[in-house]
Amino acid sequence: MKNVVLNEIFNEMADIMEILGEDRFRINSNRKVGRVIGDIATDIEILLATGELAKVPGIGKSSIAKIEEFIKTGAIKAHQELLKKIPPKLLELLSVPGMGPKGVKAVYDKLNVKSIAELKGAIKNGSFAELPGFGDKKAAAIIRGIEFLEKSTGRIRLDEAVGAAYIVTDLLRELAGTQRIQTAGSLRRRVETIGDVDILVSSGKSKKASERIIEGFTSAEFVEEVLAAGPTKGSAIIRTETAPVQVDVRVVPKKSFGAAAQYFTGSKEHNVRLREIAIKAGLKLNEYGLFKGEKMVAGEDEEEIYQELKLAYIEPLLREDRGEVEAAKTNSLPELIQVGDIRGDFHMHTKASDGNCEISEIAEAAKEIGYKYICITDHSRSSAIANGLSAGQLAEQIKQIRKLSEKIKGITILAGSEVDILADGSMDFDDKLLAELDFVIASIHSGMASPREKVTKRTLKAMDNPYVNCIGHPTGRLIGQREAMDLDIAAVIKHAAQTQTALEVNANPWRLDLKDIHCRMAIASGVKLVIGTDAHSIGGLGLMGFGVATAARGWATKGDVLNTLSAAKIKSWVKSKRPR
178 found inside a domain: yes
Q: What is the pLDDT of residue 338?
A: 98
298 and 200 housed in the same domain:
no
- Indicate which CATH number applies to the domain containing 174: 3.30.460.10
Q: Residues 238, 259: one domain?
A: no
Asked if residue 266 belongs to a domain, the reply is yes
303 and 344 belong to one structural domain: no
Quote the CA–CA distance of 551 and 315 in Å, as a whole number: 13
CA terminus-to-terminus distance, the chain: 52
Each residue's pLDDT tens digit, 33-45: 988 887 776 778 8
Residue that finishes a domain, picked among 209, 231, 252: 252
Give the 3-state secondary structure of residue 156. Answer: strand
Contact 425, 447 (CB under 8 A): no
Residue 223: inside a domain: yes
pTM of the model: 0.80
Give the range of the structural domain holding residue 356, as residue numbers without chain letter: 339-575
Domain count within the chain: 4
Local structure of residue 227 (DSSP, 8 states): E
Which pLDDT score is estimated for 197? 96
Residues in the chain: 580
Q: Is residue 474 part of a domain?
A: yes
Q: Are residues 206 and 282 in the same domain?
A: no
DSSP symbol at 132 = T
244 & 261 share domain? no
Q: Give, in order, the Cα–Cα distances in Å from 179 to each of 97, 145, 169, 246, 253.
A: 45, 46, 12, 23, 10
Residues 497, 378 share a domain = yes
Three-state secondary-structure class, residue 48: helix
Distances (CA, A) of 295 to 130, 271, 290, 302, 306: 72, 21, 8, 17, 17
CATH number at residue 268: 3.30.210.10
Are residues 8 and 121 both part of a single domain? yes
Q: Point out the domain boundary residue: 113, 128, 152.
A: 152
CATH number for the domain spanning 363: value is: 3.20.20.140
Position 170 in a domain: yes
Nearest alpha carbon to residue 441 among 330, 530, 369, 315: 530
Domain end call among 220, 252, 284: 252
Could you report the per-residue pLDDT of 131-144, keeping only the tens digit for each?
998 999 889 888 88
Residue 580 lies in a domain: no
Question: Do the Cβ atoms of 276 and 40 come closer than 8 Å?
Answer: no
pLDDT at 191: 97
Please tell me whether residues 163 and 143 are part of one structural domain.
no
Supply the pLDDT for residue 554: 97
Same structural domain, 317 and 410: no
Is position 221 within any domain? Answer: yes
**If we measure between CA atoms, which residue out of 310, 304, 303, 256 comes closest to residue 280?**
310
Q: Is residue 437 located within the same domain as residue 556?
A: yes
Residues 263 and 235 in one domain: no
pLDDT tens across the length of the chain (580 residues): 577 789 889 999 999 999 999 988 899 899 889 888 877 767 788 888 898 898 888 899 999 999 999 999 888 999 999 999 999 889 989 888 788 899 999 999 999 999 998 999 999 999 999 999 899 988 988 888 888 677 666 688 999 999 999 999 999 999 988 999 999 999 999 999 998 999 999 987 677 889 999 999 999 999 988 888 999 999 999 988 877 889 999 999 999 999 999 999 999 999 999 999 999 999 999 999 999 999 999 999 999 999 999 999 999 999 999 999 999 999 999 999 999 999 999 999 999 999 989 999 999 999 999 999 999 999 999 988 888 999 999 999 999 999 999 999 999 999 999 999 999 999 999 999 999 999 999 999 999 989 999 999 999 999 999 999 999 999 999 998 888 999 999 999 999 999 999 999 999 999 999 999 999 999 999 999 999 999 999 999 999 999 999 999 999 999 999 999 999 999 999 999 999 8
Extended strands (E) in 406-551? 412-420, 439-443, 470-471, 502-506, 529-532
Asked if 330 and 290 count as a contact pair (C-beta separation under 8 A), the reply is: no
The CATH number that applies at residue 23 is 1.10.150.110
Distance CA 124, CA 118 (A): 10
**Cβ contacts of 206 within 8 Å, gap of 6 or more:** 177
